[in-house]
Structure 1
Amino acid sequence: MSNPSQPTWRKPAGAFAIMALIMLWAGLVLLASPWIERLPALAQAPVYIVLGLAWIWLLPLRRLLAWMETGRWR
């Protein structure tokens, strides 16, 4: 068992993984933007809000954060 005051490699690795996931998701949203911009202006904002929040649930962010803290995926 590690000392809680000692940093582990999981936190920096997890931070890099989160940044990579954000860049990947942003790239996918960017690829979808030609279709989204065809929507009426008032419909575009909710679409981008939903897509901005969806990566938290669609990508394994919660499990990644748990792994960073505990070393376990659950």
Structure 2
Amino acid sequence: MSSSPRWQKPVGMLAILALIAVWCVGVASLSPWIGQWHPLVQLVFYVAAGVVWLWVLPMRRMLSWMETGRWRR
């Protein structure tokens, strides 16, 4: 069975890159305040913010949509 390339994959990859760029700009704009925190607190913040923003909120649904064409399973 041959399948043609799906348009969701390139669009999804561009959206993922855009989300990463937005996250980087947001973190960079907060760095003057976050930089004053203890390094271990900074580590926890960056890990939590990265996991929540880039994986839990949009990425699971985005990757699912890229594969199936549906937002929900």
TM-score relative to the length of structure 1 = 0.82
In the alignment, what sits opposite 1:31? 29
Runs of 4+ in 1 over 3 A off after TM superposition: none
Structure 1: tracts of 5 or more residues without a match: none
Structure 2: tracts of 5 or more residues without a match: none
Name the Cα RMSD after superposition. Answer: 1.5
User: How many residue pairs get matched?
Assistant: 71
Deviations, residues 43-71 of structure 1 (Å, cap 9, x unaligned): 2221111122121123x211111111111
TM-score relative to the length of structure 2 = 0.83
The percent identity for this pair of structures is 49
In the alignment, what sits opposite 1:7? 5
CA distance in 2, matches of 1:67, 1:10: 7
Give 1:40 deviation, angstroms. 1.6
CA distance in 1, matches of 2:52, 2:38: 21
